[in-house]
Amino acid sequence: MDRWVSFEGIGIGKIYFKDYAFKLFGLEIKWYALIIAFGIFTAAFVAIMLSKKFGLKKESLIDVIIGGTIFGIIGARVYYVAFNFKEFSNDLFSIFNLRGGGLAIYGAVIFSVLFGFIYCRIKKVPFLPTADDAGICFLMGQGIGRWGNFFNIEAYGVKTNLPFGMSSSEISSSCSPVHPTFFYESLWCFIGFFLLIFFIKYRKFDGQIFLNYLIWYSFERFFVEGIRTDSLWLIENYIRVSQALSFVLFFSAISIEVYVLFFYMKKNKDKNFLYVNSLKEKNLEG
């Protein structure tokens, strides 16, 4: 049976669709999976295109992207299961049923960054420039990926009277229209993506763009998470997991950036803080 979504306040009537795009050998290929895959490939393409600006070799970056994607998916599932274990406690095998839903973007970011750090240390690839490139592309991937929530009709918020409120066949009429929080996050991520692209030429030290990614994303996530109806809870009905993590990341990233800009860099004025500039200097010397 087709489902529908509407935004009556802005003149968009019922949009009917199935939760899958097509069938392949009898297997339903979900819109969610296709959009997530498109987000990953688009983010990877952008990362490779930006690699020269950070002095990175495309070959090493591709390895990081492949490994980071695999571990990111694992991390997204681990994070979700860890903070929602009751759902799986009676059927542990359901943990491996990704088609049933249940991925968390923070888990994906944490695990992919951990993989990137370990890979860079082993292969002697500069981690901070790699993280800067990744931070920009995370926003692109997240901005696209959130539209998977649209087709799943999930990641929405509480009831609202705003004109762009969303109604759906999957949401009780007594509760709708609701905040389309997936759209809020998608728009915020796309804006952040273009701002960080613009900021590349103004960065002062390696890692600054990744810190700004954390600041930008966690600021939005803290507030939007507060109006979502499907949050994972750290303390039931009191503290949401993603809000707590966003709070920590936001102030940690700001503190680190302020320290580096106003204390560490001033004490080490003769040091080169951008890897790409050190490469240029070596080429000139050679």
Which pLDDT score, from 0 to 100, does residue 284 have? 53
Which pLDDT score, from 0 to 100, does residue 41 have? 97
Query: Per the structure, how many domains does the chain have?
Result: 1
Q: Return d(Cα 240, Cα 233) in angstroms, integer.
A: 4
Which pLDDT score, from 0 to 100, does residue 102 have? 84
Residue 147 CB contacts under 8 Å (≥ 6 apart), including other chains: 35, 182, 186
Q: What is the pLDDT of residues 63-111, one digit of tens each?
A: 999 999 999 999 999 999 999 988 888 878 888 887 777 889 999 999 9
Low-confidence ranges of the chain (pLDDT < 50): 286
Residue 184 phi/psi, 5° resolution? Answer: -55, -45
Q: Reduce the DSSP state of residue 23 to 3 states and report it.
A: strand
Which pLDDT score, from 0 to 100, does residue 86 have? 85
Which pLDDT score, from 0 to 100, does residue 278 have? 85
Which pLDDT score, from 0 to 100, does residue 257 have? 98
Which pLDDT score, from 0 to 100, does residue 1 have? 62
Containing domain of residue 88, as a range?
3-285
CA atoms within a 13 Å half-sphere pointing along the CA-CB vector of 34: 12
Which pLDDT score, from 0 to 100, does residue 283 have? 60
| Contact between 64 and 120 (Cβ < 8 Å) | yes
Which pLDDT score, from 0 to 100, does residue 281 have? 64
CA atoms within a 13 Å half-sphere pointing along the CA-CB vector of 211: 18
Q: Return d(Cα 108, Cα 115) in angstroms, integer.
A: 11
pTM: 0.94
